[in-house]
């Protein structure tokens, strides 16, 4: 028994917490799916914001003057005059008077083509483009433009699109809030799933916990074991989920179709923010899993003496 | 319950009217008051189900008493802050009745566990662990997994794990139940060596052979109560005193504070022993 000089076995120490593949695989799958959905929700929220940004800047960058037909006045002449007046105002880059055909083409979707008598008086539109600097400073005085038109005796009304821009912005905000709430819900679900799994894994490994606890291991030592394990698990699920989300959004943006999906997903070619988001997702998943596992383990250990 | 409690000014463990029950069950241990003096060695016996393991659980901080006071090194365990319990546990080595080895870890890793949880590096303790394993006859089983070992081998792993951290208190629950007489002797000698180095030792056992081998007090549990039989040498001193002066014998017994019935039952237990 004591004949040979004892030599400790070479190699490192065995893992105190053995991997638990039977339990880990479904958890990995669920977490990966949650991360995938969270990524899509985040990309959607981001996409809605970018779209709204583009649309409102279009709407805010222009005005529309509607010239009404009055008595025997020549509406096209009035429209041309209105465009001229608009061009004369500071902050206006250009103004274009549209003709009767343009008005008819706008009505065609509702009334069909050729269904209107030629002598039916129609209002004409003047499109006014604003300087970028003017838009940034809050647009031009609509009232001043209206006054000029009134003074020229033109029956016209100026529309600065603010009603539409407001509606688009509200819709975008709603989509964004929805996306972010979805994100929060998914994060909550992920945390709950991990806490549940951590408790299950704790129960399955109660022999290890008991042995460590009675050997004098501190709570944080034991919690650390579970925390590290679930961090790795969350990280791996996160990578899987984020990669799939990236693939899906790349496919959508490459094919540019179906269009209603592309509406929610970003244009892939210029998207540093989206890349950052997808890159950060695994880390966030890992942290969520680690924190959630730690809380579960610590609360269990607190129940012991 | 035996009196004579609390002679040591600061015992490593002191029980004061301790009672214990599991859940809403009956009280398994009742009114236990005793000291484990520093550096003492005692056996704990009693019929199966008497509560030996339960009493040991109280000593190794795996269970709380349902009433009474337990103090370690002069400090009430119930009021110890949670952060100080790990250190206290590290000073108590335990050989569990059912070993509680971790089946996924090698023999070496199992034994190293108490050192590992303190955050020490493997290179720090590897030699000591290997030496200890060789000493208990498991030098060639260091990389084996516990399920591949015999019962006796597992028991020796459990003992090595309990002593590797050089605890101040060593609790052993049936530590020789699975080994032959020779290995039992060898393990007992290990406990005696540790005791000589100052470790306070409690060994729960059914093995009267083992108990007879050492001149140590024997704590006996029955019906929830504890009786303590002093070591043979002390009893002999009393007997001699009784012979020397018959009239003073009663005083001597009374001074020791032990009811006569206790001594009688102890003597009965000894019939044919020596
Ligand atoms: N975890 C538990 N929950 C409920 N009752 C328990 C528990 N552990 C032990 N008991 C009961 O407490 C009593 C004492 O058990 P204990 O294990 O302390 O006895 P023991 O003296 O160690 O017996 P043995 O010599 O067989 O090991 C028994 O009646 C047992 O049924
Ligand atoms: Mg027992």
Model pLDDT, residue B132: 93
Q: Min CA distance, B270 vs chain A (Å)? A: 36
Q: Min CA distance, B113 vs chain A (Å)? A: 7
Nearest CA in chain A to B141: A9
The residue to which tokens 């890159």 are assigned: A279
Q: Is the ipTM of this complex over 0.85?
A: no
Q: How far is the CA of B49 from the centre of ligand 1 (A)?
A: 5
Model pLDDT, residue B259: 36
Q: Which of B83, B86, B100 sits opposite A217 (nearest CB)?
A: B86
Nearest CA in chain B to A7: B130
Model pLDDT, residue B271: 38
Per-residue pLDDT of chain A (305 residues; tens, 9 = 90+): 445 567 888 877 888 988 777 778 888 899 899 999 988 888 888 877 777 777 777 777 888 899 988 887 888 888 888 889 888 888 888 888 888 888 888 887 787 777 777 778 888 889 888 887 776 676 667 788 888 888 888 888 888 887 788 888 888 888 888 888 988 898 888 888 877 887 788 788 888 998 999 999 999 999 999 999 999 999 999 999 999 988 888 777 776 545 555 455 555 544 677 788 888 989 988 998 899 889 988 988 888 88
Residues, chain B? 274
CB pairs under 8 A between A and B: 85
Closest to B61 measured CA to CA, from B38, B78, B41, B40? B78
How far is B84 from A49, CA to CA, in rounded Å? Answer: 54
Domain boundaries, chain A: 21-55+166-304, 69-154
Q: Which residues pair with B221 in a beta bridge?
A: B226
Please judge whether A9 and B143 are an interchain contact, meaning their C-beta atoms are less than 8 angstroms apart. yes
Model pLDDT, residue B197: 92
What secondary structure, in 3-state letters, does A70-87 show? CCCCCHHHHHHHHHHHHH
What secondary structure, in 3-state letters, does A195-261 show? HHHHHHHHHHCHHHHHHHHHCCCCHHHHHHHHHHHHHHHHHHHHHHHHHHHHHHHHHHHHHCCCHHH
Q: Which of B82, B104, B114 sits opposite A14 (nearest CB)?
A: B104
Ligand nearest to the CA of B47: 1
> Which atom of ligand 1 is nearest to B50's Cα?
21
Q: How far is the CA of B57 from the centre of ligand 2 (A)?
A: 10
* Mutation pick for ligand 1 pocket among B19, B20, B22 (CB with most ligand atoms within 8 Å): B22
Check if B48 has its Cβ closer than 6 Å to any atom of ligand 1.
yes
How far is B177 from A2, CA to CA, in rounded Å? Answer: 24
Q: Which of B94, B103, B117 sits opposite A212 (nearest CB)?
A: B117
Model pLDDT, residue A265: 54
Nearest CA in chain B to A215: B114
- 10-residue mean pLDDT profile of chain B (274 residues): values are 55 96 95 95 95 96 95 94 94 94 95 94 93 92 95 93 95 89 87 94 92 94 94 87 66 43 31 39
* Contact yes or no for A213/A304 (Cβ under 8 A): yes
Check if B101 has its Cβ closer than 6 Å to any atom of ligand 1.
no
Chain B residues contacting A via beta carbons under 8 Å: 60-64, 82-83, 85-91, 94, 100, 102-106, 108-109, 112-114, 116-119, 122, 126-127, 129-131, 133-135, 137, 139, 142-143, 165
Is this structure's pTM higher than 0.90? no
How far is A231 from A233, CA to CA, in rounded Å? Answer: 5
Ordered by where they begin, the domains of chain B are: 1-90+206-259 (3.40.50)
Nearest CA in chain B to A216: B86
Model pLDDT, residue A267: 52
């Amino acid at each position: 028994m004591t004949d040979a000089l004892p030599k400790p076995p070479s190699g490192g120490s065995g893992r105190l917490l053995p991997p638990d593949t039977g339990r880990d695989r479904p958890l990995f799958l669920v977490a990966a799916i949650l991360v995938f959905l969270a990524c899509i929700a985040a990309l959607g929220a981001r996409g809605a914001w970018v779209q709204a940004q583009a649309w409102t800047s279009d709407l805010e960058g222009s005005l529309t003057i509607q010239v009404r037909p009055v008595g025997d006045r020549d509406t096209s002449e009035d429209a041309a005059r209105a465009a001229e007046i608009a061009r004369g105002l500071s902050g206006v880059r250009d103004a274009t008077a549209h003709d009767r055909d343009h008005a008819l083409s706008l009505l065609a979707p509702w009334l069909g083509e050729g269904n209107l008598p030629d002598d039916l008086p129609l209002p004409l539109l003047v499109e006014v483009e604003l300087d970028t600097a003017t838009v940034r400073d809050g647009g031009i005085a609509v009232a001043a433009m209206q006054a000029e038109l009134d003074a020229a005796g033109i029956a016209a009304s100026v529309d600065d699109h603010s009603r539409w821009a407001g509606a688009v912005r509200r819709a975008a905000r709603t989509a964004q809030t929805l996306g972010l709430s979805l994100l929060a819900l998914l994060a909550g679900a992920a945390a709950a799933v991990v806490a549940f799994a951590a408790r299950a894994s704790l129960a399955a490994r109660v022999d290890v916990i008991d042995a460590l606890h009675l050997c004098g291991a501190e709570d944080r030592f034991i919690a650390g074991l579970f925390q590290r394990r679930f961090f790795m698990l969350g990280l791996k699920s996160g990578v899987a989920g984020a990669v799939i989300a990236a693939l899906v959004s790349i496919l959508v943006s490459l094919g540019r179709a179906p269009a209603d999906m592309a509406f929610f997903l970003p244009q892939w070619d210029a998207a540093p923010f989206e890349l950052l988001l997808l890159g950060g997702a695994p880390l966030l998943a890992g942290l969520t899993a680690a924190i959630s596992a730690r809380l579960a383990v610590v609360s269990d250990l607190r129940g012991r003496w | 319950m035996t009196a004579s409690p609390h002679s040591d000014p600061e015992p490593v463990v002191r029980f004061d009217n301790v009672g214990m029950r599991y859940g809403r069950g009956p009280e398994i241990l009742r009114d236990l008051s005793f000291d484990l003096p520093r550096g003492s060695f005692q056996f704990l016996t009693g019929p199966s189900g008497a509560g030996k393991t339960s009493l040991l659980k109280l000593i190794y901080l795996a269970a709380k008493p349902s009433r009474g006071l337990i103090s370690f090194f002069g400090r009430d365990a119930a009021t110890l802050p949670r952060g100080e319990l790990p250190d206290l546990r590290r000073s108590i080595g335990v050989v569990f009745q059912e070993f509680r080895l971790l089946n996924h870890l090698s023999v070496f890793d199992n034994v190293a566990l108490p050192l590992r949880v303190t955050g020490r590096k493997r290179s720090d303790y590897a030699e000591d662990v290997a030496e200890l394993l060789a000493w208990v006859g498991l030098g060639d089983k260091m990389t084996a997994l516990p399920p591949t070992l015999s019962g006796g081998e597992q028991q020796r792993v459990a003992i090595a794990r309990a002593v590797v951290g050089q605890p101040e208190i060593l609790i052993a629950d049936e530590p020789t139940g699975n080994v032959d007489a020779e290995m039992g002797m060898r393990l007992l000698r290990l406990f005696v060596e540790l005791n000589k180095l100052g470790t306070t030792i409690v060994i729960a056992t059914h093995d009267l052979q083992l108990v007879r081998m050492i001149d140590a007090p024997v704590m006996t549990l029955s019906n929830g109560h504890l009786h303590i039989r002093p070591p043979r040498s002390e009893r002999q001193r009393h007997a001699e005193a009784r012979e020397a002066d018959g009239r003073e014998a009663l005083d001597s017994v009374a001074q020791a504070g032990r009811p006569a019935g206790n001594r009688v039952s102890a003597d009965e237990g000894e019939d044919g022993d020596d």
